[in-house]
Amino acid sequence: FLLLFLLCAFLLFLILRAVAIEFRGKEEMAWWRKTWDVAYSVSSAAMAVALGVVLGNVLQGIALGEGFRFQGYWLDFLNPFALLTGATTLALFMVHGAIYLSMKTEGRLYAKLAVLLRRAIWAFFLLFAATTAYALIGIPHLSDDLRAQPYLTVLPAAAFLAMAFLPRYARKQRYRTAFALSSVTLCLLLGLVAAELFPVLLRSTIHDSLHMTVQDAASSDKALGIMLGFAAVGTPLVLSYTAFVYWTFRGKVKLDEHSY
């Protein structure tokens, strides 16, 4: 039931985002556009927070019992660490998005984004520091692999280095470099999560023997082979399409009285 609810919520947010983009320009009334602006903003923020909450629970572990059945209550998912991770995720996405928009805009909107970017960076640093402190003090298993395999400390060290240089390049308006650094930060933090959990996919807070591992969750060899084939064909196509769209719409967006 909980998984179905989460899937429905994500689907609703995705639909709201697409509908808001499509419907916003259909009417000229200020209230109409404001309504769809709010719908788009709320759905986007809710998706980011929800992803962070899920990640926080994956890192912390859930009450997973025999047969990988959830033995807790749904409110258990809204624990302090998960909510803190959700807020940190939202702040990181805000930084990432604000940097990209700073590359694409000019004039008044660009000035507003510059202020938003500075605030988002500070919010992310504070929330990330709080999340890291909580994890190190309250969730010891997250640092066990780092202690056992010191070479894995390259991941958090590189992530901290990227985060440290990001504000400097943003302040100098070197947004391409700042965007690259925020992208690297995202990749390194996700890599750190994988390194801390592997081979466990979902931890059980009831007993270590009840963890769901990668092998437990894997499909059959035949299914994995079919998915690999689709990925081998689809991934280059998606990357090519993304590169083509980015190149087509490269440069600053020019705003005038006919702009959306």
Burial 133-170 (b: 16+ CB within 10 A, else e): ebbeeebeebbeebeeeeebeebbebbeebbeebbebb
- Bridge partners (DSSP) listed for residue 202: 212
pLDDT tens track, the chain, 260 positions: 555 677 777 788 888 888 888 888 787 888 888 999 999 999 999 989 988 988 998 888 887 888 778 787 777 788 899 999 999 999 999 999 999 999 888 888 888 999 999 999 999 999 999 999 998 888 888 877 777 788 888 888 999 999 999 999 999 989 999 999 999 999 999 998 888 888 888 888 888 888 888 888 888 889 999 999 999 999 999 999 999 998 888 888 776 665 55
What is the pTM assigned to this prediction? 0.86
Q: Give the per-residue pLDDT at 92.
A: 94
Element (H, E) at 202: strand 200-202
Tokens at residue 132, please? 């890291």
Estimate to the nearest angstrom the gap between the alpha carbon of 165 and the chain centroid.
Answer: 20
Q: Give the per-residue pLDDT at 184.
A: 93
Q: Which of 204, 220, 209, 217 is nearest to 69 (CA)?
A: 204
